[in-house]
Structure 1
Amino acid sequence: MKPLIFTGAATAMVTPMHDDFSINYGLFGQLLDEQVANKADAVVVAGTTGESATLTDEEHINLISYAVRRIKGRIPVIAGAGSNNTAHAVWLSRQAERAGADALLHVTPYYNKAPQEGLFLHFKACAEATALPVILYNVPSRTGVNISPATYGRLSHIENIVAAKEASGNFSQLAKIAGLCGSRLAIYTGNDDQITSALALGAQGVVSVLSHLVPEGTHNLCTAFFDGDAAKSDALQLHYLELIEALFSDINPIPIKQALRFMGWDVGPCRLPLCGMEPAAAEHLQLVLAKYGLCPLPSHMGTRTSKRPEAMLLPRNSH
């Protein structure tokens, strides 16, 4: 197998904003520190959850550089570098490498609907642009295009294409990728509700939104499986399902940002065209968070929290 970037749970980081939509780097640093302290195995910066689509190039690279300086080698920093313009993706890759990223995450080109040969040539160009390891990111529900198992097979022969974040939700496809690529390509699921199932098919972990709230719990879910305790891993997966469903009750990253605000982290709004949650949906999210001991109940219901087994409450910030 090619060298692994990480095993376990990599947290897809939000990008905190001030009320004027400028980036709150100080809070971003605090969130990164919390991930390291609570056993996250890696972080992904400037990805979908980090609102990469509405970041300027300068902001994009500044976020990566800031994360590298703050993490200081404690866990890998994986930089989102994808674009639907191959030349732009190549430029972002080189800039991320200069900023000190440990690896790159390259999403399938969106909107263009490139054919499989175009996908192969796009990812090949991105990989050849730097010496960094590359994780391919397949999420057809957002990009409108799917990397076929055969294309994965071709790409896995490129030396620094080392892994895939497979978020199609298609287990037959995941199994075919594993069978075709073998040790040439590590697989990470991009679906928090399918972690244990993906691990059972040979995945090495997850790129996770759930772990933003419960990094230790998501890490433990993975390590239990790797340690041979599939029953514990399954139990944790089932335990977190209600929380996962709440975190994907609206378009990511709208719910995760709202959840962090309920927990006392003032991560600010999403940039348009993303917006806030409807009040009823936000209240339901808060109720679910309270069930897991992650925040107080809505004010009209009191302030109790009811911790459940394996729940992990992030320390609340002081500002």
Structure 2
Amino acid sequence: MSLQKFHGIIPAFYACYDNDGNISKDRTGQLASYLSAKNVQGVYVGGSSGECIYQSIEERKAVLSYAAESLKGKMTLIAHVGAPSTRDSIELAKHAAELGYDALSAIPPIYFKLPDSAVIRYWNDIIDATPLPFIIYNIPQTTGYQLTPAVFRKLLASDKVIGVKNSSMPALDIERFKSVGGDRVIVFNGPDEQFVAGRIMGAQGGIGGTYAAMPELFLEANVLLQEGKLEEATRLQSAINDIIIALCSLNGSMYAGIKEVLRARGVDIGGVRAPLENLSGNDGEKIQLIVASINKAIADFVR
């Protein structure tokens, strides 16, 4: 199959809540419209940025449904279906397949420290549950499990495995996974702070948690890389990193900060779900500076 539909900038889709903290169909649609207007390649629905671990299975199915209703046929749709149990993950996978998603993805099982054999079985059970292609999600800093090239090679025994969303920090991991899979796989850069480095090391696209807050900047960075303008791309990455560091310095959760940035940009998708913390103290002043930094970077870099 052609992997071209998975190249480029794919924002992680945020959880959209109403004022009572419930999943909001209307606000999900607002975020979908905002991203569609920015001309991103696709969206990654129900992952870390979607606060999936704090939602029930029925809520997660609703999010997948609302996003597909707004965006199917307009862009590439990837459904993250990782859950603590294989049974729940398969239920989400089948739901996403019925909705017409382009691919599935999943973190490894969390909490218990499992051997490679159990993790491989978990992923293969999800892969076997639907006809959809599958993207492994490697994020060891939150799951405690580090995907290795050896395990990746075993998973590639299935033709439905088309790549890995690599959110480990070493850019070397991107190069190693690409060396194992070659042209039959796509490697997505996960850490937004190293988008340019990840692309240089072999990633053909990126899936990121801050993309939707400033899609113009990541889209421009991707174009600069395609044009071979590495010095300009590196300078833009530096500006992006200043913004990310500021988002990580808030009293509240980074995602609460991102949602406030989106509110300032005209998209209200609510707050975050506990135990994630909403903004407090002088966070409002910091958000104003972050929004100003995003606007300045757009003016300075985006053609």
Per the normalisation by structure 1, the TM-score is 0.87
* Deviations 1:159-215 (CA, angstroms, capped at 9, x unpaired): 111111101102232222222222232110111110111111110111122321222
CA 1:154 to 1:184, structure 2 compared with 1: closer, same or farther past 3 Å? farther
- Corresponding residue for 1:179? 179
* CA RMSD in angstroms, aligned pairs only: 2.1
Is 1:49 aligned to residue 40 of structure 2? no
- Corresponding residue for 2:163? 163
How far apart, in 2, do the equivalents of 1:170 and 1:25 lie?
37
Contact 1:17 1:23 in 2 (8 A): yes
User: Of 257, 260, 277, which aligns to 1:258?
Assistant: 260
- Corresponding residue for 1:316? none
- Corresponding residue for 1:200? 200
How far apart, in 2, do the equivalents of 1:261 and 1:288 lie?
13
How far apart, in 1, do the equivalents of 2:57 and 2:264 lie?
30
How far apart, in 2, do the equivalents of 1:127 and 1:252 lie?
32
User: Of 274, 277, 282, which aligns to 2:279?
Assistant: 277
- Corresponding residue for 1:309? 300
Question: What SS class does the counterpart of residue 32 from structure 1 fall into?
Answer: helix
Contact 1:2 1:185 in 2 (8 A): no
How far apart, in 2, do the equivalents of 1:311 and 1:224 lie?
10
Question: What SS class does the counterpart of residue 136 from structure 1 fall into?
Answer: strand
Q: How far has the Cα of 1:5 moved from its partner? A: 4.1
Q: How far has the Cα of 1:72 moved from its partner? A: 3.3
Question: What SS class does the counterpart of residue 141 from structure 1 fall into?
Answer: helix
Contact 1:293 1:311 in 2 (8 A): no
Q: How far has the Cα of 1:311 moved from its partner? A: 6.0
- Give structure 1 regions of 4+ aligned residues with deviation exceeding 4 angstroms: none
CA 1:73 to 1:248, structure 2 compared with 1: closer, same or farther past 3 Å? farther
Contact 1:116 1:148 in 2 (8 A): no
Q: How far has the Cα of 1:307 moved from its partner? A: 6.5
Contact 1:254 1:276 in 2 (8 A): yes
Q: What is the 5 A alignment of 1:292-307?
A: 292-293=294-295
How far apart, in 1, do the equivalents of 2:77 and 2:115 lie?
30
Could you tell which deviates more after superposition, 137-146 or 282-291? 282-291
Contact 1:41 1:219 in 2 (8 A): no
Q: How far has the Cα of 1:10 moved from its partner? A: 0.5
* Deviations 1:269-299 (CA, angstroms, capped at 9, x unpaired): 21111121332344323312223328xxxxx
Contact 1:2 1:162 in 2 (8 A): no
Could you tell which deviates more after superposition, 243-252 or 30-39? 243-252
How far apart, in 2, do the equivalents of 1:195 and 1:74 lie?
24
CA 1:213 to 1:27, structure 2 compared with 1: closer, same or farther past 3 Å? same
Per the normalisation by structure 2, the TM-score is 0.91
Q: How far has the Cα of 1:13 moved from its partner? A: 1.2
Question: What SS class does the counterpart of residue 196 from structure 1 fall into?
Answer: helix
Q: What is the 5 A alignment of 1:57-206?
A: 57-206=57-206
How far apart, in 2, do the equivalents of 1:292 and 1:4 lie?
29
Could you tell which deviates more after superposition, 137-146 or 227-236? 227-236
Contact 2:139 2:168 in 1 (8 A): yes
The amino acid across from 1:141 in the alignment is: Q
CA 1:103 to 1:247, structure 2 compared with 1: closer, same or farther past 3 Å? farther
Q: How far has the Cα of 1:263 moved from its partner? A: 3.2
How far apart, in 1, do the equivalents of 2:8 and 2:249 lie?
24
CA 1:311 to 1:121, structure 2 compared with 1: closer, same or farther past 3 Å? same
- Corresponding residue for 2:39? 39
Question: What SS class does the counterpart of residue 292 from structure 1 fall into?
Answer: helix
Question: What SS class does the counterpart of residue 63 from structure 2 fall into?
Answer: helix
Gaps of 5+ in 1: 295-305, 313-319
The amino acid across from 1:24 in the alignment is: S
- Corresponding residue for 1:267? 269
How far apart, in 2, do the equivalents of 1:246 and 1:86 lie?
37
